[in-house]
Chains A and B, each alone.
Chain A
């Protein structure tokens, strides 16, 4: 397994000290001109982890092995945890009184800003793990850069999430390698799903005006600047997995980040949001 370089998160102790919302003065959260764009960017972060967390949780009780079932459930829980932080901050920035729950459960598909990659059906366990790996490799690079964000609130969320995602990436890489360099059947299946998911991976690196504005404010890197590091990790792992990276384009399917989704998102939200919309305001 290619060893990940040791990237110590800067000032994590300081970030942890300032953890409670309201304690940290974050000028970006209060910047009126930046609000719409910052809100948009935060939704992209939180919606992606929400939908991927939800998709991963669909394996609970159905995974091929007990240990894998627990591991996938843990991964899903980590992602939902990130969602609470990202969408929570989004609600604060928007300043219209919407909580993370309101954003997750009461918006329609056209308002969601997640990547298309994460709303695709799970397929078999190989497809799920390949999707997880392709996303983890991007997520890890992004979070690492975000720990140095000019927004203290963003940096502290990233610092917490980075530990979990470091494990996610380690786990998904190991499994892709074992399945790719496994039996004839597992190798063939993994190559098929790699070919299938590759055209969706490019959306992770698409950079539009929202990304530009957020990058200018120093809050986050431009997605396209993460592509080289991602390519390096992916190439190394796929090589060890004896899988061939497709020579087709990465960015065939896009639109998720601006609200143009596949039909799959509708079904996901119908299941995920039913309870909150049928019984508004219900609590345990």
Chain B
């Protein structure tokens, strides 16, 4: 008798005053609707969120740590990419 493991899901929660969903962890569930129920039970016990997104872990493509160099180092010393050379008038406020 084969034992099939429930697929793994990554869980994203948006808090009451938050603007975006944040990754809070993962859990197992047989399908998407159960994943939302499980996320509600596991990750929102203390009113951490008002909105839940679930994504099958296998649907997520991640950058490989070994490619860190070519992917991210070139941005290291390109100061012209940072918008810090403008004089912001005081009336505009904090940008």
A residues at B contact (CB < 8 Å): 1, 65-67, 70-71, 74, 167, 170-171, 174-175, 178
Contacts and interface: CB of A to CB of B under 8 A. Distances in A.
Contacts of B27: 66-67
Top 9 A-B residue pairs of the complex, sorted by shortest distance between their CB atoms: A67-B38, A71-B41, A70-B41, A67-B27, A70-B42, A74-B41, A171-B37, A67-B42, A178-B30
Interface of B: 6, 27-31, 33-34, 37-38, 40-42, 45
A183 to B, nearest CB: 9
A174 B41 CA distance: 14
* A contact face: mostly helix, strand, loop, or mixed: helix
A71 B37 contact: yes
B38 A71 contact: yes
A170 B30 CA distance: 16
Given A74-B41, A74-B45, A178 B34 contact: yes
A174 B29 contact: no
Residue with the highest number of chain A CB atoms closer than 10 Å, among B34, B40, B41: B41
A222 B30 CA distance: 39
Contacts of B31: 178
Nearest to B30: A178
Contacts of B33: 1, 174
Nearest to A77: B45
B28 A65 contact: yes
Contacts of B28: 65-67
Given A67-B38, A70-B45, A178-B34, 8 more contacts: A1-B33, A67-B27, A71-B37, A71-B38, A71-B41, A174-B34, A175-B34, A178-B31
A63 B41 CA distance: 14
A70 B33 CA distance: 17
A175 B37 CA distance: 11
B45 A174 contact: no
A175 B40 CA distance: 15
A65 B45 contact: no
B30 A67 contact: no
Contacts of B29: 67
Interface centre among A65, A67, A174 (most CB of B within 10 A): A67
Contacts of B41: 67, 70-71, 74
B9 to A, nearest CB: 10
18 contacts: A1-B33, A66-B27, A66-B28, A67-B28, A67-B29, A67-B38, A70-B41, A70-B42, A70-B45, A71-B38, A71-B41, A167-B40, A170-B37, A174-B33, A174-B37, A175-B34, A178-B30, A178-B31
Contacts of A70: 41-42, 45
Nearest to A167: B40
A71 B42 CA distance: 7
Contacts of A74: 41, 45
A1 B38 CA distance: 17
B46 to A, nearest CB: 12
B47 to A, nearest CB: 13
Nearest to B39: A67
A138 B38 CA distance: 23
A126 to B, nearest CB: 14
Contacts of A178: 30-31, 34
